Chain A
Amino acid sequence: MYEIVAFYLFSALTIGLFIITVMSKNVLYAMTSLASAMVLISGFFFILGADFLGVVQLIVYVGAIMALYSFAMMFFDATRDIKEKNTNNALVFLLGGMSALVLVLMFSAPIFSDSIQALYPMHEGAGNAQDVGIVLFTKYLVPFEVAALMLLVAMIAGIILAGKKMDQSLTEDMSADDEIMIVKDEK
């Protein structure tokens, strides 16, 4: 009983929040509803008994969207609405059509759900952190390592891009002051 109530509550809230994310012109509303919807998705994992995945969803998206916020903070005035430019009608048509297709597939999924069986069902004894670990390091070992390698590449690229003046402090470095002066002169 609790599960059903919680499921409908979380579903309604998640869909509502994602609609706000797409529709809202205020960057603060969009980001906040995105973050809360991502947090609420972890609720589904908890209902299904996958506590570990639920917490991972929570931790990963809380951090990821926090980083997104910092970009929003740099580029937009968070208290005002922004003007959107949607000029490419073909793209809108394509994306809309694909979303509709995905929606149809999602709603028809319960028809086939009886024939779907879990390849790696949860064990009664082991906790689900252990289950996730076993699957990750046996069946999905190669994708897992490839993902790790990609993250490493991204990290090195980030360090190289940002690391030119890493040994200097931004507040003590005089060359930074010079750059500011140049910008002022140009104005």
Chain B
Amino acid sequence: METTLVENLPQVTAVGVIIKAVIILAVISAIAGFGTFVERKVLAFMQRRLGPMHVGPYGLLQIAADGIKLFTKEDIIPQNANKLIFMIAPVITAATAFIALSSVPVFPDFIIPEFIPLLGGTFVPSIASDLNIGILFVLGMMAAGLYGPLLAGMSQANKWGIIGAARTAVQFLSYEVVTGLSILAPIMLVGSLSFVDFNNYQAAGIGSWMVWQQPVAFVLFLIAGFAETNRTPFDLLEHEAEVVSGYATEYSGMRWGMFFIGEYANMITISVIAAIVFLGGYDPEATLGWLTIILKIGFFFFLMLWVRAAWPHVRPDQLMWLCWKVLMPLAVVNILITAIVVMV
């Protein structure tokens, strides 16, 4: 695979990539679990409650309690369901979320110290697979992740499930256009689809951040990102007040948990893309360069929780209206203006 990394970096080996993959899996799963706790706490404070307080200090061990509950619950498969598809569906959501993370820069490069046996001296890259078309790959993989809810809803022989699946299709067909068109304008400015090139383009400090040149694209991408990760105000697929739990109605235990690991991993992926494409990304030179991107990712994660606490969710027809009649024309006009500016 052709890389755009700087030439003087050590050789990327298969072992390094495997270590990287294991790190991503372990850390992001853990963060996804911790994310549920953070979400409950943040929502609680915004609604003047305390949230989980009883298990452990400040409710921190709630994650462990939830984990034990999820892992030990009975895995129920409904009698009339299409069993194979029903069992595969949650795996699709979780797997595609992690595959998408494989071409996103997460954590800095490092070399495993020599004193560690076997693996000493292995170079672990910051991007597991540095594709030249990183952004497209991530967006495509995240889009493929929506097959999870779709198949889950269709296979479970439950009317709420079918409604959830239908809403998945509607949501996917609505936001997908906006995601692609909104990110096209920054791509035109940078002239590349690689995350590393985006990062280098904005290396000159806050003034060179893409968000100042492309504010419209930034807002559109965030809205589409919320729809992509099924966050409020676009959580149509599983809205409790309307469709019980939508596609997840018949799921229990770890299969249900996998949907949410996938969702939180997708939230992190969208935050990383937004931070790199619009907010300057990371600084590979400075020692604290990676701290800045973690702060940015944390901000986007917080923003998703904030919006959830502040906004009611929209109806499916409002989502379609918003995506096709408001956001898509805006995105096209934005692309046209960007194209004229780039040409002139």
Contacts and interface: CB of A to CB of B under 8 A. Distances in A.
A59 B136 contact: yes
B162 interface: yes
Contacts of A117: none
A92 interface: no
Interface string B125-167: 0000001110011011101101100110011010000100110
A171 B131 CA distance: 45
Interface stretch (B77-85, B224-232, B254-262, B305-313): B77-85
Nearest to B144: A62
Given A62-B144, A66-B169, A171 B80 contact: no
A78 interface: yes
Nearest to A170: B317
Contacts of A26: 82
A55 to B, nearest CB: 4
B193 interface: yes
Given A51-B132, A58-B144, A28 B154 contact: yes
Nearest to A57: B140
Interface stretch (A67-75, A103-111, A144-152, A178-186): A67-75
A146 B151 CA distance: 36
A128 interface: yes
A56 B140 CA distance: 8
A127 B132 contact: yes
B140 A62 contact: yes
Interface string B177-205: 00010000000000011000000000000
B68 interface: no
Contacts of A49: 2
Interface residues of B, number: 37
A63 B155 contact: no
B136 A55 contact: yes
B157 A32 contact: no
A66 B169 CA distance: 6
A51 B143 contact: no
B173 A55 contact: no
B140 A59 contact: yes
Contacts of A52: 132-133, 136, 193
A73 B85 contact: no
A3 B165 CA distance: 37
B241 to A, nearest CB: 15
A78 B155 contact: yes
Interface string A13-53: 00000000000001011001001000100000000010110
B333 to A, nearest CB: 17
B10 to A, nearest CB: 20
Nearest to A124: B2
A129 B137 CA distance: 13
Contacts of B132: 51-52, 127-129
A73 B140 contact: no
A50 to B, nearest CB: 10
A63 B170 CA distance: 11
A34 to B, nearest CB: 12
A28 B169 CA distance: 15
Contact of A73 (B88, B139, B144, B154): B154
Contacts of A66: 146-147, 150, 169, 172-173
B39 interface: no
Given A69-B169, A70-B166, A171 B317 contact: yes
A46 B47 CA distance: 48
Contacts of A32: 85, 88, 147, 151
Given A28-B154, A39-B144, A78-B82, A67 B317 contact: no
A86 interface: no
Interface of B: 2, 80-82, 84-85, 88, 131-133, 136-137, 139-141, 143-144, 146-147, 150-151, 154-155, 157, 162, 165-166, 169-170, 172-173, 176, 180, 192-193, 315, 317
25 contacts: A29-B82, A32-B88, A51-B132, A55-B133, A55-B137, A55-B140, A58-B141, A58-B144, A59-B136, A59-B139, A59-B140, A59-B180, A62-B140, A62-B143, A70-B170, A73-B162, A73-B169, A78-B162, A79-B155, A127-B192, A127-B193, A129-B133, A129-B193, A169-B317, A171-B317
Given A29-B84, A49-B2, A51-B133, 17 more contacts: A28-B82, A28-B85, A28-B155, A51-B132, A52-B193, A55-B133, A55-B140, A59-B136, A62-B144, A63-B172, A63-B173, A66-B146, A66-B169, A67-B169, A69-B154, A73-B166, A79-B155
